[in-house]
Amino acid sequence: MSVPRSQSTGDTRKRHKMPLSLSPLRLTVMALLLIVTVPSTAVLPTQVDGAPLPSLAPMIERVTPAVVNISTVSVVRREDQPLLRDPIFRWFFERPRQSRERRNQSLGSGVIVDAKQGHVLTNHHVIEKADEIRVTLHDGRELVAELLGTDPDTDVAVLRIPNENLTAVQLADSDRLRVGDFVVAIGNPFGLSQTVTSGIVSAVGRSGLGIEGYENFIQTDASINPGNSGGPLVNLRGELVGINTAILAPSGGNVGIGFAIPTNMAEAIKRQIVEHGGIRRGVFGISMQNLTPDLARALKLPAKTAGAVVNGVKPDSAAEQAGLKAGDLITRLNERSISGATDLTTQLALLRVGDRVELEVIRDGRNRTLSAQIADPFAHFVDGDDISRQLQGARLGEVIDESSFGKNRGIAVGPVVENSNAWNAGLREGDVLFQLNRSRIESLDDLRKATDDGVYRLKLRRGSRLVTLVSR
């Protein structure tokens, strides 16, 4: 029987002319080689100096039952070719008009924050335009979710699922988060369920990124990828500190710069959605800017002072009633320090209509405390039903609209009830109406007169576009 070369048992001493006696150095080297080969049967230690090896596994096991996979289906209707939209063409060729449907699917993550109520936090962009939302739990159960409400400006959405044997994550005070704290991101990137990555807090209070309307992000180097959106960012105690929402990816991949919405912001939005079915942002009535070194010298303030400088105060606003004046430096809002103009804007946006605010300001080198109440931006609006039955469901008010199209009088559209007459006519909150039918509209009286012939053609500004709506 022949033996493979690698296992040959012949006497190799003659072949290599090796002496029978081995030097101490050679024996030492051989002993070391034997030691190196031992780990094939060795076991890693379970303790070091009497203490167990550190592991995140126990914390992860507690948190993952609260992390869910969110899948959505949206139906997009595609029309036939433009030529086939011509009724004469279709009649001549006896071709009926048809619309085809395309079903788009998307995946994201979410986290259960209230087991008794079945409330799930996720991102607005995860469920945007979804016709169907399904939530898959850690134990494999798949549930149909109800959308309670959403806030595109902060990218927060709240879902409700049946409250049967659910596990919720504990909430942390995200205001106490510090740069350097360890954090863990959990989610379903690329459809890979329950993926865990770790890192540290790279920065807090990130803003000016242009990702959302109101920004106060936690920045982390924990890997966040497509599908992680809406999932939790937790501390080492397993408490929720943020909702993962975006990454900075100049090369198209993860470069270690991810962003999460702080828990305190997400929870404030959730409370409004649960109580009111949406966000009821109020109006304070100031314009502001950051404190620059030059401005600090002009206001005779220390260079390192933090806060937001008031540029202007709107007449008859809550800010004017509080006694604010241009040149005031706002340093605190309801016992929360203000770092700059963006921070103050975000904090004001989280307050509800009617909330009391207490401000600490510096004026002429002296500290002052002022108080006010957040005003309802639609307090002076009227119900559309009072003007025309076809405008039922909308709140309407006179405004002087300032945009890239100039400064024009018009009618602002406030909240619009879904599936109301105004909604079905195409009106949406934020629109500014300038023309109805053939009449130029500058006041509510103009609007009433123009509706005598009904509502069949509307011209308005929507964002940066001029839009014409035609009733069918």
Give 3-state DSSP helix, strand, coil % of the chain, rounded to 5.
25, 40, 40
- H-only helix segments in 64-111: 87-92
Q: How many CA atoms within 13 Å lie on the side-chain side of 304?
A: 0
Give the torsion through C-alpha atoms of 284, 286, 287, 292, to 10 deg.
-110
- Looking at this protein, which amino acid is placed at residue 437? N
- Looking at this protein, which amino acid is placed at residue 351? L
Q: Which are the contacts of 28, defined by CB distance < 8 A and separation ≥ 6?
A: none
Integer angstrom CA distances of residue 21 from 17, 26, 407: 12, 10, 102
As annotated, the active-site residues are 125, 155, 229
- Identify any residues that bridge with 77 across adjacent strands, giving them in sequence order: 101
How far out from the chain centre does Cα 346 lie? Answer: 13
Give the torsion through C-alpha atoms of 173, 179, 184, 186, to 10 deg.
70
User: Do residues 377 and 283 lie in contact, with contact meaning Cβ atoms separated by under 8 Å?
Assistant: yes
Q: Which are the contacts of 431, defined by CB distance < 8 A and separation ≥ 6?
A: 412, 413, 460, 461, 462, 467
Both tokens of residue 139? 């134990």
Q: Which backbone phi and psi does 164 adopt, to 5 degrees?
A: -115, 110
Q: Please tell me the distance from the alpha carbon of residue 391 to that of residue 385, in angstroms, as a whole number.
A: 6
Both tokens of residue 81? 């070719």
Q: Please tell me the distance from the alpha carbon of residue 344 to that of residue 328, in angstroms, as a whole number.
A: 13
Closest of 154, 161, 159 to residue 130, by C-alpha: 159
Q: Please tell me the distance from the alpha carbon of residue 149 to that of residue 269, in angstroms, as a whole number.
A: 10
Tell me the pairing of strands 239-247 and 170-171: parallel
Both tokens of residue 465? 């576009």
Integer angstrom CA distances of residue 80 from 91, 99, 353, 385: 15, 6, 47, 37
